[in-house]
Amino acid sequence: MYQDKTIICKDCGNEFVFTAGEQEFYAEKGFENEPTRCKECRIARKNNGREKRELHTAVCAECGGEAKVPFIPRDDRPVYCSECFSKKNEL
């Protein structure tokens, strides 16, 4: 069966344990790669990814106010501020 395994984290260089239980879980899920990062670094990377989602400022096509959107606004597509957007969805 599986045995606890010590792996060096790729990001912080700390050792972490890839436990027998986790190995079993990975095998069940069909993951072929062992984890390369400790839990802390994995969580940190996840959070970074979320924060990196840049917001672009555009002019709301409805009220002319400032609209923040997670995509690059294009001229041929109207952009709405969150207020107008939710109003439109209510209709």
By the criterion CB under 5 A, which residues form the site for Zn ion? Answer: 9, 11-12, 38, 41, 60, 62-63, 65, 81, 84
Contact 67, 58 (CB under 8 A): yes
Minimum CB distance to Zn ion smaller for 41 or for 58? 41
CB of 76 to Zn ion, least distance (A): 18
What count of Cα atoms within 13 Å lies in the side-chain half-sphere of residue 31?
10
Report how far residue 40's alpha carbon sits from residue 38's, in angstroms, rounded to the nearest whole number: 6
- Minimum distance from residue 57 beta carbon to Zn ion (Å): 13
CB of 1 to Zn ion, least distance (A): 27
